Structure 1
Amino acid sequence: MELNEIKSLWEVYDKKLEASLKLNQRFIDLIVAEKVRSSLAPLFWRRIAEGIVQLACMAFLVVFLCRNFSEPAYSVSALSLIAFYMVAFINSIRQLVIIKRMDYSNDIVTIQSGLAMLQAHNLDYARMVVLFIPACLAFPTVVLKAIKDLHIDSFANKDMITLTGGHWWTAQVAATLSLIPLGLWCYNQLSYKNLHKKWVRNFIQRSSGKRVRKAAEFMKELHSLKFEAI
C-alpha cells in the first residue's frame, strides 16, 4: 500500500471520527437541555402559584390598610407586610423571566449561566427574608384585626392590641427595633465572600433551591462527560 493511499485512508477515518465526536457532543447537549427543562418546569409553575398567592396577600393588605389607615399600629404593620410580599413577588417574577428566557438549544456554558442567575436570585431572596424577619411580628396584629373587621362574634375580642391595652404594639416595636441590627448583620454575612464559614456555606447551599441545585449538578456531570468524549 502506497503512502498516498495510507494518507487517504487516514483522512477518511479522521473525518468519520470527527463526525462521530460531533454527534456525541450534540447528543450530550440534547440530554442536558431536556434534563434541565424537566427539572425547572415544576419550579416555573410553583413560582406562578407563589406569585398569585403573593398578589392576593398584597391585595388583602391594601384593603386592610385603607380601612385602618388612621391607626398607626395597624397601618405600619400592614405596610411592613406589603413591603415583604412585594419583595417576594418581584423575586418570583424575576425567576419566571429567567426560566422563560432560558434557551435550551444553546451550549452548556450558556445554560449554566442561566442556572447561576437563578441561584443568585434564590440567595438574594433568602437574604431579604432574613432582613424582613422583624416584619413577621406584624402578622398577629394584622390577621386578628382583619378577623375582627369581619364582625364575627366569636372573634370580636381577639384583637391583640385591644386585648393588651396597646402593650402588644409597644412590644412589637421594641422587638422589631432590636431585631433589625441582627437582620442587617445576617444580611451582610450571607454572601459568597463568606463561603469559608460553614454556616454561611450551608445556608447558601440550601437557599439555592433543590431543583436548581440538582440541575446544576447534572450540568457539571454532563460537562465532564462531554470533555471525556472529546
Structure 2
Amino acid sequence: MEDKEWIALWKSYDQKLDNNLILNRKNAEDITRIKIKSLLGSMKPLKIFTIVTGILWAVFVDTLIVATFHFASPFFLISAAIQVLLTKLAIGIYLYQMVLIYQTDISEPLLATQERIARLQSSTIWVTRFLFLQFPVWTTFYIGDGLLKNGGITWYVIQGIVTLTFTGLAVWFFVNIKYENREKQWFRLIFNGKEWEPVVKAMGMLREIESYR
C-alpha cells in the first residue's frame, strides 16, 4: 500500500474517531439533561403539597382573624396577620418555583437552564429566610389582657426572654441563610431533602455538560 493510501486511511480513521467522540459527547449531554429534568421533577410532589397546605392554612388564619377581629387580643391579631402574610409570601415563591420547574426543557440552550436552576436555588434560600421570620409571632399570639394584667413580674421576664430569643434567632437566620454558608453544618441541617438536594445535583450536572464541550 502506497503512502498516499496510508495517509488517506489514517485520515478516514481519524475522522471516524472524531465523529464518534462528538456523538458520545452529544449522547452524554442528552442523558445528563434528562437526568436534570428528572431531578427537578422529583421536587414537584413536595412543592404541590406545601402549596396546598399553605393555602388551606392561610384561609384558616384569615377566617380566624375576620371572625375574632372585634374581640381578640391585639397581640393575637398582629401575630396572626404577620404569620399569614409570610405564609402567603412563601406560597407565592413556591408557585414561582413550580413555574420554573415546568418551564425547564431539555432541548433549551444550556444558559437558559443554568439561569432557571440558579433562580430555583436563590428562591429556595429566600423562602426559608422568610419562614424563619415567623419565629417571634409564635411567642406572642396567645398574649391577652388577662396575662398582661395578672402575669406578674416573673411572667414578664420569661416572656421577654423567650420573645427576644426567638426574635434574635429569626434575625440571625434571615441574615446568615445565604449560599456562601452552604458548607456549614447548620445550613446542611436546614437544607436537607427534596427542597435543596435536587437543585444542587442539577447544578453539578450542568457543570458536567460544560465539560463535555
TM normalised by structure 2 equals: 0.75
Q: 1:222 to 1:131 in 2, by over 3 A?
A: closer
Contact 1:120 1:208 in 2 (8 A): no
Q: Distance in 1 between matches of 2:199 and 2:166?
A: 36
- 1:92, distance to aligned residue in structure 2 (A): 0.9
Match status 1:187 vs 2:189 = no
Aligned to 2:82: 80
Contact 2:135 2:170 in 1 (8 A): yes
Aligned to 1:148: none
Higher relative contact order (CA closer than 8 Å, sequence separation 6+): 2
Q: Distance in 1 between matches of 2:140 and 2:76?
A: 8
Q: 1:46 to 1:26 in 2, by over 3 A?
A: same
1:25-58 deviation line (CA, Å, top 9, x unaligned): 2221232122222222231122112111111111
Q: 1:121 to 1:215 in 2, by over 3 A?
A: closer
Contact 1:102 1:114 in 2 (8 A): yes
What amino acid sits opposite 2:34 in the alignment?
Answer: E
1:93-137 deviation line (CA, Å, top 9, x unaligned): 121122111122246665444333322222222222222211233
Q: Distance in 2 between matches of 1:86 and 1:190?
A: 20
Aligned to 1:57: 57
Contact 2:32 2:205 in 1 (8 A): no
- 1:8, distance to aligned residue in structure 2 (A): 2.1
What amino acid sits opposite 1:185 in the alignment?
Answer: W
1:125-153 deviation line (CA, Å, top 9, x unaligned): 222222221123356x4xxxxxxxxxxxx
Aligned to 2:130: 128
Q: 2:204 aligns with which of 205, 212, 220?
A: 220
Aligned to 1:4: 4
- 1:82, distance to aligned residue in structure 2 (A): 0.9
Contact 1:123 1:204 in 2 (8 A): no
Greater displacement, 203-212 / 7-16? 203-212
Give the CA RMSD over aligned residues: 3.4
What amino acid sits opposite 1:51 in the alignment?
Answer: I
- What is the total number of aligned residue pairs between the two structures? 205
TM normalised by structure 1 equals: 0.70
Q: 1:76 to 1:89 in 2, by over 3 A?
A: same
- 1:89, distance to aligned residue in structure 2 (A): 0.4
Contact 2:36 2:205 in 1 (8 A): no
Q: Distance in 1 between matches of 2:150 and 2:42?
A: 45
Contact 1:29 1:108 in 2 (8 A): no
Greater displacement, 101-110 / 23-32? 101-110
Q: 1:203 aligns with which of 162, 186, 193?
A: 186
Q: Is there any run of 5+ residues in structure 1 with no aligned partner, and where?
A: 142-159
Greater displacement, 207-216 / 62-71? 207-216
Counting aligned pairs with the same residue, the percent is: 21
Q: Distance in 2 between matches of 1:14 and 1:216?
A: 38
Contact 2:86 2:134 in 1 (8 A): yes
Q: Is there any run of 5+ residues in structure 2 with no aligned partner, and where?
A: none
- 1:83, distance to aligned residue in structure 2 (A): 1.4
